[in-house]
Structure 1
Amino acid sequence: MFNHLQERGANCQDPGNRLPRAGVAAPAPAHYFDVHPRDRRIPVAITLIENFRAVFYAPFYAAFVLGAYAAEGVEGDQRPSSGPAETAKALLTGGGDVVWGGPMRVLVAGDADPDCGLVSFCEIVERDPFFILGRGPAPGGGFGGIMDKKVATVREVPTPWMCFQDDLRRAGLDPDALDRIPDRSMGENADALAAGEVDAVQVFQPLAENLIEEAGARIWYTAAERGLTSYTVFSTTRAFMAREPDSLLRMTRAMYRTQKWIAAHSAEDFAECISGYFPDMPPEALARSLDRYLKLGIWNRTPILKREGFDRLRAACISGGLIREGIPYEVAVDMRFAETALREDPDSM
């Protein structure tokens, strides 16, 4: 029933498998790097790796459709990753220049090798986009009321469980005591909830919206309400950053201009903009999914990755045993391009 609503991954064909070719843009304003900025009328090529297809990645798709990259003189290939776990490896082995995905991958790579050279430079998703949905009203007692329920958690990627188990620990609870099903897909879990085989599931949009509409599920916990938890960023290698700083500034400016557009438009406008990336999803369902995310404020309004959000994610990955210590904000994050974009204050798309 719900399997078709899972992320489409590497097999998804998007409306255009290449970034729009660059048009003529205004000359670059002065900025603050120790390089001479190239004329933005001269396009630069970037290979951008898509982690997987998901509604909470909507700003990335909007940037393509709105022509934000072209406006900044960026052209290049948009390539699907062979899988979320392979994305960081693709960057390190030259399979791409920039990836959008979780800073968790930078933390994991840096934990294994502090000199790996991966770095995040522009944040887009600053709050956790997952939910715990259950059958019937949420149990009393906060997280304590969930502990005696059978809960199916996300298998596809580790960050949702890392964050939720950390929430439980901070509430004084033992996540190992949770009656948890960890090894089924979100689509399978959604079907299980609809069939009454589990009490609650951990899912993102549009599965959450569809379970509410079609199966009468209730939201028991909205992870975005935890506060800042850095979830999705642009990342690259230190080597590429040193070689192509102006290209990364252009990408950051393009995303900032897209963020401004999103802040000024409705969920319906947003859904119409990116609908080509979700051809199997009814427009109304896409708009509802985006509207809930907009109201929760999961998308950053600027490219700045705040230390608070990074530290919360890092702490969750440590408490869950995904990493030992990780790498600090100063090593994993470089905000020079985001800070410059804010100073330059480009127009909205």
Structure 2
Amino acid sequence: MRQITIGVAFHSPFYSPLFVAGRLGAFRDEGLDATIVVPPPGGTIDMLEKGQAPLVLSGVMRSFVLADRGGQNLVAIAEVNSRDGFFVVSRTPVANFTWRDLEGKTLALFGLAPTPWMCLQTALREQGADPTKVRALPGLDPAQGIEALKSGRADFLQTGQPTAEELVRDRVAHLAGPQAPIVGHVPYSSFVVTDATRKRDPEMCAAAVRALTRALRWMAARDGAAIAALIAPEFPETRPDTLAAAVTALQNVGIWSDGPRQDREAFDRLGRMLVAGGLIRTAGKYDVLVDDSFAEAAVNAVRA
């Protein structure tokens, strides 16, 4: 049994496939004794570069940024999150909400990663809304964002799960809408390794992707309540009914596919969004930042 550390960007049900793989014993079945570690925000890439983890579950955005700045190429080997997992909630109810309702209002952004706002800006334009007319409030951690909403400093809040569900259930906020349907298919988060690890340790890469594939297949055959029940021990701070609702909300907007294959068009769409949002100047190429061979092999190997 090989011991490995897997870094994950945040402790969130958004990353349910990772926790499902652990709870099902899928990693152990593949010969991996996996320990999941959550570093400080933005720290997954540091874990790779410092050799603290051979594999991380991280936003592909960070691979784009590193490549754009002349850093080493990090390679995505399996797609975990296929949609944007963020939700917009409002301080007061908005009847028949449309995305143009954000114009002229203050939106407290998720401050721990740029991708949610990068994706939303392009999606707003595609919906006929003007993101430059949204008063974006950046740089807030989750607690500060909630406080901005409660105090009236913000009209809307961009947040993930289970926070969105908790705020709605506690009658602090009202659901405006999920970002996933308007953002569309993008490789939001993936298993990422250094190019050196990909070449030096293909057995570990292949085993981890097979474990992920088993988790995704298991999830695709079950509802949100069943998924939440399996991973509940990983989230003792969240009420079971809230966790079930949060996982169901994510599942209902297609956050997880039934397999880890990585789509070229979806990758290119994310790159265009990051360029349009001003995060990067040039989007890296699929053939440089993605290796889909492990995912392809896993899909063929894992039949159940």
TM above 0.5, yes or no, is yes
Judging changes above 3 Å, is the alpha-carbon distance between structure 1 residues 214 and 80 closer, same or farther for their aligned structure 2 residues?
A: closer
Matched residue SS, 1:84: coil
Counterpart position of 1:148: 104
**What letter corresponds to residue 21 of structure 2 in structure 1?**
A
The reply on whether 1:254 has 2:214 as its aligned counterpart is: no
Matched residue SS, 1:258: helix
**1:101 pairs with one of 43, 46, 58:** 58
Give 5+ residue unaligned stretches, structure 2: none
Counterpart position of 1:168: 124
Q: In the comparison of the two structures, how many residue pairs are matched?
A: 303
Counterpart position of 1:280: 237
The reply on whether 1:179 has 2:135 as its aligned counterpart is: yes
Give 5+ residue unaligned stretches, structure 1: 1-42
**1:232 pairs with one of 180, 189, 206:** 189
**What letter corresponds to residue 251 of structure 1 in structure 2?**
A
Matched residue SS, 2:33: strand
Counterpart position of 2:7: 49
Deviates more, 1:45-54 or 1:267-276: 45-54
Deviates more, 1:321-330 or 1:44-53: 44-53
**1:200 pairs with one of 115, 131, 156:** 156
Q: For 1:1-349, list aligned pairs within 5 A.
A: 43-81=1-39, 83-113=40-70, 116-138=72-94, 142-171=98-127, 173-215=129-171, 217-226=173-182, 227-347=184-304
In the alignment, the residues of structure 2 paired with residue 117 and residue 204 of structure 1 have an alpha-carbon distance, to the nearest angstrom, of 28
Deviation at 1:289, TM superposition (A): 0.4
TM-score by length of 2: 0.93
In the alignment, the residues of structure 1 paired with residue 3 and residue 201 of structure 2 have an alpha-carbon distance, to the nearest angstrom, of 10
Judging changes above 3 Å, is the alpha-carbon distance between structure 1 residues 77 and 267 closer, same or farther for their aligned structure 2 residues?
A: closer
In the alignment, the residues of structure 2 paired with residue 256 and residue 141 of structure 1 have an alpha-carbon distance, to the nearest angstrom, of 37
**What letter corresponds to residue 8 of structure 2 in structure 1?**
E
Larger radius of gyration: 1
Judging changes above 3 Å, is the alpha-carbon distance between structure 1 residues 173 and 263 closer, same or farther for their aligned structure 2 residues?
A: closer
Judging changes above 3 Å, is the alpha-carbon distance between structure 1 residues 140 and 292 closer, same or farther for their aligned structure 2 residues?
A: closer
In the alignment, the residues of structure 2 paired with residue 215 and residue 198 of structure 1 have an alpha-carbon distance, to the nearest angstrom, of 16
TM-score by length of 1: 0.81
In the alignment, the residues of structure 2 paired with residue 194 and residue 141 of structure 1 have an alpha-carbon distance, to the nearest angstrom, of 20
Conserved in 1, the CA contact under 8 Å of 2:86 and 2:160? yes
Deviation at 1:255, TM superposition (A): 0.6
Matched residue SS, 1:85: coil
Report sequence identity in percent. Answer: 33
Deviation at 1:308, TM superposition (A): 2.6
Matched residue SS, 2:136: strand
Matched residue SS, 1:201: strand
In the alignment, the residues of structure 2 paired with residue 289 and residue 324 of structure 1 have an alpha-carbon distance, to the nearest angstrom, of 35
Deviates more, 1:225-234 or 1:143-152: 143-152
Q: CA RMSD in A?
A: 1.9
**What letter corresponds to residue 90 of structure 1 in structure 2?**
M
